[in-house]
Chain A
Amino acid sequence: MARYDRAITVFSPDGHLFQVEYALEAVRKGNAAVGVRGTDNIVLGVEKKSTVKLQDSRSVRKIVSLDDHIALACAGLKADARVLINRARIECQSHRLTVEDPVTVEYITRYIAGLQQKYTQSGGVRPFGLSTLIVGFDPYTGVPSLYLTDPSGTFSAWKANATGRNSNSMREYLEKNYKETSGQETIKLAIRALLEVVESGGKNIEVAVMTKDGLKQLDEAEIDAIVAEIEAEKAAAEAAKKAPAAKET
């Protein structure tokens, strides 16, 4: 009897929803994604697997716009992501049509999470296999927000978070090193967190920055420049560590 719990989303005898937990496993296998909230911007960074040489990389955008002031990055099943993103985009426009106002970040996050939850409580369907990082500025208060949803349909706001492959390492790094930043510092913090688990280099990371003026995707050259800065800072820190130690001996 216990085997039947695995096929559809019903409770197991010990209170688990196995399908949802397996969906979370799918997320853990997906590419690393990180989001960091600054005082005047929010930065999203996603790992790009560089094994696909013949692929036209322009067709694979991992950080997408849902509306002028909302962007999304995800980890997990990309096909599921396409469906969810499409529904979210329609909802953004539908909201504008019915109430003549753009969505708040919380509203659209609640909508996406609600959709993910619905698929954990329906017959014959499986949950969406992805977690999303949703960022944006509230159109009325101008406050930046970062939200995370997961396949179970829960969501919450974060100062910084990571999902996907090795998200625990990234989260640990962020917990240790997070502080209120703005502008370029926030971008550096996000990339530093990502570099904990991803091979260094502009062609392995995709970074986008959401400011009050909209979403800006950083191109490879810009990312390479920032990565170089970070490496230089790291080298300087290493040298500084060695120098006093040498003095002591």
Chain B
Amino acid sequence: MECVFGMVGKGFALVVADSSAVNSILVHKSNEDKIMVLDSHKLMGASGEAGDRAQFTEYVQKNVALYHYRNNIPLTTKAAANFMRGELATALRKNPYMVNIMLAGYDEETGPSLYFIDYIATLHKVEKAAFGYGSYFALSMMDRHYHPNMTIDEAIKLADQCIEEIRSRLVVAPQNFIIKIVDQDGAREHSWRRTTKD
């Protein structure tokens, strides 16, 4: 029932994720932040097995930091995406990580970008993407309303439309959503969409 989706706009990239932590029929908490700030200009929205999610995303974050200290220059979004894909691919035939990643980043030279990374190490550079049951609704909504070079307000409006669709049509819809944005000023939290307080 986890939903993560993202899109690229004019000079920024957006990642939206639900914030429910669920175990069978019990909701542990509904303010779980699943969008990790990988470094100053990268966001990583992750869905899947909670343990694998924490393990994999933290591992990637520390390795990205190490690269920065060693080489005095941060990894590009493309490089980080390929690194993640490589790690997932190596683990796939032994001990797979059940994590789906939406990587959004802003690079000086190439601007904003979004990468779709599957738990079986699929890597796609995309303008818009979504994971989970919510993807059936979010992707359809984005197919209809998305256009390149949207402003932040247009993108947030579209994100809200997707969230609205997920809330009304998904049988076990997540209660709260978190929206994070990355642009030339860095990666940061944008806002929450709550129906319950935790």
- In the complex, what residue of chain A is closest to B66 when comparing beta carbons? A93
Among residues 61 to 119 in chain A, which have CB atoms less than 8 Å away from a CB atom of chain B?
61, 65-67, 86, 89-90, 92-94, 96-97
Residues on B with C-beta less than 8 A from A93 are 62-63, 65-66, 69
What sequence of 0s and 1s flags, for each residue 24-64 of chain B, a beta carbon within 8 Å of any chain A beta carbon?
00000000000000000000000000000000001100110
Give the residues in chain B near A92, CB-CB below 8 Å: 69
Query: Are A67's CB and B69's CB within 8 A?
Result: yes
- On chain B, the number of residues with a Cβ less than 8 Å from chain A's Cβ atoms is 9
> Which chain B residues numbered 121 to 144 have a C-beta less than 8 Å away from chain A?
none
**Residues of chain A contacted by B66 (CB below 8 angstroms):** 89-90, 93
- Chain A: which residue is nearest B69 at the CB level? A89
Given contacts A92-B69, A93-B69, 4 further A-B contacts (CB under 8 A): A65-B69, A94-B62, A96-B65, A97-B62
Per the bound structure, the CA–CA distance linking A11 and B116 in Å amounts to 59
Q: Residue A86 contacts which of B59, B62, B70 (CB distance < 8 angstroms)?
A: B70
Contact of B70 among A89, A94, A96, A97 (CB under 8 A): A89
Residue of B nearest to A93 (CB): B62
Interface size on A, residues (CB 8 A): 12
Interface string of B162-188 (1 = CB under 8 A from A): 000000000000000000000000000
Closest to A58 in B: B72
What sequence of 0s and 1s flags, for each residue 69-83 of chain B, a beta carbon within 8 Å of any chain A beta carbon?
110100000000000
CB B65 to nearest CB in A, in angstroms, measures 6
Main secondary structure of the interface of B (DSSP, over half): helix
Contact A97 B69 (CB under 8 A): no
Interface 0/1 of B102-116, CB less than 8 Å to A:
000000000000000
Find the residue from B59, B62, B70 having the highest chain A CB count within 10 A. B62
Min CB gap B75→A, angstroms: 14
Q: How far is the CB of A56 from chain B (nearest CB, A)?
A: 14
Chain A residues in 8 Å Cβ range of B59: 97
Whether B62 contacts A96 by the Cβ 8 Å rule is yes
What are 15 sample pairs from A and B whose C-beta atoms fall under 8 A apart? A61-B72, A86-B70, A89-B66, A89-B69, A89-B70, A92-B69, A93-B62, A93-B65, A93-B69, A94-B62, A96-B62, A96-B65, A97-B58, A97-B59, A97-B62
- Can you name the residue of chain A whose Cβ is closest to the Cβ of B70? A89
With a CB–CB cut-off of 8 A, which chain B residues contact A94?
Answer: 62
B contact residues around A97 at 8 Å (CB): 58-59, 62
Q: Taking the nearest CB of chain B, how far is it from the CB of A37, in angstroms?
A: 23
Chain A residues, Cβ within 8 Å of B65: 93, 96
Residues of chain A lying within 8 A (CB to CB) of residue B70? 86, 89
What are the 7 tightest A-B residue pairs by CB atom distance, in nearest-first order? A93-B62, A97-B62, A93-B66, A89-B69, A93-B65, A97-B58, A96-B62
CA distance A94 to B66 in the complex (A): 9
Chain B residues closer than 8 Å to A66, beta-carbon distance: 69
CA distance A96 to B60 in the complex (A): 12
Closest beta carbon of chain B to A161's beta carbon, Å: 24
The docked-state distance in angstroms from the alpha carbon of A26 to that of B70 is 25
Contacting residues, chain B, for A89 (C-beta < 8 A):
66, 69-70
Q: Which residues of B have CB within 8 Å of A90? A: 66
For A90, the closest partner residue in chain B by CB is: B66
Complex Cα distance, B69 from A65, in Å, reads: 7
